[in-house]
């Protein structure tokens, strides 16, 4: 029975159809019969941006387990309701519900992004929250490590981010790029370049981070050197170079780059007009 209901819920492609099926499940009392169905409903409401419906459903669950708490917390994070996500995590902790690794990863992501939000807390306060949560984790997977590195780097604590990076038992490209990005944001292009040269697999994101760092530091020549040897470029790469050249006052070369672009977008035109 539950398998059949789950298949029905999985077929929902719109918020309207989800509400209709949810209403049917309420009438038949089927919604309370399976945590799998509840989990799926929470995730779908969040995916459709109806986080208030997800919260209402959750509040009607008598004893939500770790998976249901995690579904709601993750939904708030994905809908950029970061403060509420952390509040839910605090509530979860207060009710002695043991978090999953994915719960922790979602909260870390929320705190990393919350660094950009003026919520009355200092950035250092957020960093302390990161440390408290991270230290409580029994198993730290690569996503959690990356979230920590990104969070500290974004909030100006590149020294702590580097310590974490060095302690990581295994790293992926995101780990390296997050650390490079931390150095770039702190204005330390020397360390960023050293790490970039050691990066085992350089993807487009890591190349663009370096290009952006050099153009922001008004070092267009080094940006150009990297641009020339890039194996692949996207519109964003070209826009970074054009913007950097405009900032440097080299409008002629910026125009040349603009004319050479294989593809342009609205940002390309805006950069040239503003330049």
Note the pLDDT tens digit of each residue in 66-124. Answer: 999 999 999 998 898 988 988 898 899 889 888 877 787 777 777 766 654 343 233 34
Task: For the chain, give every domain's residue range.
Answer: 1-61, 202-275
Indicate if the pLDDT at residue 154 is higher than 50.
yes
Indicate the burial class of 205 (C-beta count within 10 angstroms; 0-12, 13-18, 19 or more).
middle
Composition of the chain by helix, strand, coil, percent to 5: 75, 0, 25
pLDDT at 241: 93
* Cα–chain center distance at 6: 29
Weakest-pLDDT range from 99-103, 107-111, 133-137, 229-233: 133-137
Q: What is the 3-state secondary structure (H, E, C) of the chain?
A: CHHHHHHHHHCCCCHHHHHHHHHHHHHCCCHHHCHHHHHHHHHHHHHCCCHHHHHHHHHCCCCCCHHHHHHHHHHHHHCCCHHHHHHHHHHHHHCCCCCCHHHHHHHHHHHHHHCCCCCCCCHHHHHHHHHHHHHHCCCCCHHHHHHHHHHHHHCCCHHHHHHHHHHCCCCCHHHHHHHHHHHHHHCCHHHHHHHHHHCCCCCHHHHHHHHHHHHHCCCHHHHHHHHHHCCCCCHHHHHHHHHHHHHCCCHHHHHHHHHHCCCCCHHHHHHHHHC
Please report which confidence band the pLDDT of residue 134 belongs to, taking 50, 70 and 90 as the band edges. low
Give pLDDT tens digits for 18-49.
Answer: 888 788 777 666 555 578 888 888 999 999 99
Q: How far is CA 62 from CA 32, 35, 97, 123, in A?
A: 9, 11, 14, 36
Weakest-pLDDT range from 42-56, 117-131, 216-230: 117-131
Q: How far is CA 230 from CA 2, 79, 178, 255, in A?
A: 52, 35, 19, 20
pLDDT at 2: 55
Report the share of the chain in percent with pLDDT over 70: 83
Weakest-pLDDT range from 15-24, 109-118, 156-165, 174-183: 109-118
Contact 111, 86 (CB under 8 A): yes
pLDDT at 70: 93
Weakest-pLDDT range from 80-84, 100-104, 210-214, 255-259: 100-104
């Amino acid at each position: 029975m539950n398998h059949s209901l789950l298949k029905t819920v999985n077929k929902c492609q719109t918020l309207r159809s989800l509400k209709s099926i949810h209403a049917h499940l309420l009438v038949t009392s089927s919604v309370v019969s399976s945590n799998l169905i509840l989990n799926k409903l929470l995730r779908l409401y969040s995916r459709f941006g109806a986080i208030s419906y997800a919260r209402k459903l959750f509040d009607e669950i008598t004893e939500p387990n770790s998976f249901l708490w995690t579904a709601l917390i993750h939904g708030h994070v994905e809908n950029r309701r970061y403060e509420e996500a952390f509040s839910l995590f605090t509530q979860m902790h207060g009710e002695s519900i043991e978090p999953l690794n994915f719960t922790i990863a979602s909260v870390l992501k929320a705190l990393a992004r919350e660094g950009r939000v003026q919520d009355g807390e200092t950035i250092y306060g957020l960093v302390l929250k990161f440390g408290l949560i991270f230290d409580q984790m029994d198993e730290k997977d690569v996503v959690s490590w990356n979230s920590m590195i990104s969070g500290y780097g974004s909030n100006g604590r590149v020294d702590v981010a580097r310590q974490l990076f060095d302690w990581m038992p295994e790293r992926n490209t995101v780990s390296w790029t997050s650390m490079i990005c931390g150095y770039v944001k702190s204005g330390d292009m020397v360390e960023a370049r050293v790490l970039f040269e050691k990066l085992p697999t350089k993807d487009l994101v890591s190349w663009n981070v370096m290009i952006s760092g050099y153009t922001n530091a008004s070092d267009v020549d080094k940006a150009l050197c990297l641009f020339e040897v890039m194996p692949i470029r996207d519109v964003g790469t070209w826009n970074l170079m054009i913007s950097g050249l405009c900032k440097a006052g080299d409008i002629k070369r910026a125009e040349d780059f603009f004319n050479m672009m294989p593809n342009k977008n609205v940002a390309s035109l805006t950069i040239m007009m503003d330049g």
